[in-house]
Amino acid sequence: MDHDQNFKNLIIDYPLQALSLFAEHEAQELGTAVRITPIREEQLKARLGDRYRRLDIPLLVEWPDGKRGGIIFALEEESNTSRFSIHRLAHYCLDLAEMYETDRIVPVVIFLRKGKYPAQLSLGGQWSEYLKFHFIACTLKQLQAKQYYHSDNIVARLNLPNMKYAQEDKVEVFAQAVQGLFELEQDVNKQMKYIDFIDIYADLDKNEQRMYQQQYSEEAKKMIGIVERSRKEGKREGKREGKLEGFLEAEGLVLLRLLQNKFGELSENTRKQIEAADSDTLLQWLDRVLTANSVSEVVH
């Protein structure tokens, strides 16, 4: 699973909210008027060399009034603490400082799971310490999911499945994440995009999917609404046929997901029927999902 790309997308789409969650204390003084710009990684790769993995995304934070100097936040996501290298991170931050001629660098590491890692790096000799380096560590599994159920920070809500919670709360955590997405993000394309993000990290099994379908049917209706709105918006804006075909594919994928969540694994014949259906047919079938008692009541 490409965790790096998932979090890179999240940070680029919601930079201020990402900093507020992953670097809370540093972000408290930023305010809402700041301008946040992703720095092109291509500029950094040559300096780091091929032996270094490209880190997620460096963000330049600037104040339009010019009263404070800009700050560069160097964010790295690590799904496995054993792969984390504090030497690599220090090297990366020093290169950023040299390249942008600044000493205002904030290193931040987002750990998906708990584990052991070096918290600081000290270089020195017999008589003195000459370099000391540490970073902000945000370990998502140490954050209590329930504390963020009603957060207005969309990055926090989307990451609820990555936080700490009891196994019996898993379906509720998933539901709170989905509700947060619908409440805090009005862009249909991003809703579609981050439903997948929640889905990947929640990883509900078939029984949990059925529980969610039964207990939170309103979210399933909203999911259908997303597809319909996307299709109408595409037509209204005069998108090309290829774009409409993309919406058609999305409708089919949503229908497959809803049917699997409610009725379990689908037959090959049912899958072929859905793949072959036109857009109007798919929308009719989507409308039937919530009240149907079997797959045959939906697809026929």
pLDDT, one tens digit per residue, over 191-216 is: 888 888 898 899 888 888 888 877 88
Residue 84 has pLDDT above 60, yes or no: yes
Confidence bin at 2 (pLDDT 50/70/90): low
User: Which is more confidently placed, 193 or 119?
Assistant: 119
Residue 156: the pLDDT is 98
Residue 227: the pLDDT is 55
Residue 231: the pLDDT is 55
Domain boundaries, the chain: 3-142, 206-300
- b/e map of 281-297 (b: 16 or more CB within 10 Å)? ebbebbeebeebeebee
| Segment among 82-91, 154-163, 181-190, 276-285 with least mean pLDDT | 276-285
CA distances from 148 to 19, 20, 26, 194, 225 (A): 15, 13, 19, 17, 26
Residue 284: the pLDDT is 78
Residue 43 has pLDDT above 60, yes or no: no
Angle at 1 between CA 44 and CA 6, to 5 degrees: 55
Distance from C-alpha of 165 to C-alpha of 143, rounded to nearest angstrom:
9
Q: What is the mean pLDDT of the chain?
A: 81
pLDDT, one tens digit per residue, over 268-280 is: 888 888 878 777 7
User: Which is more confidently placed, 50 or 34?
Assistant: 34
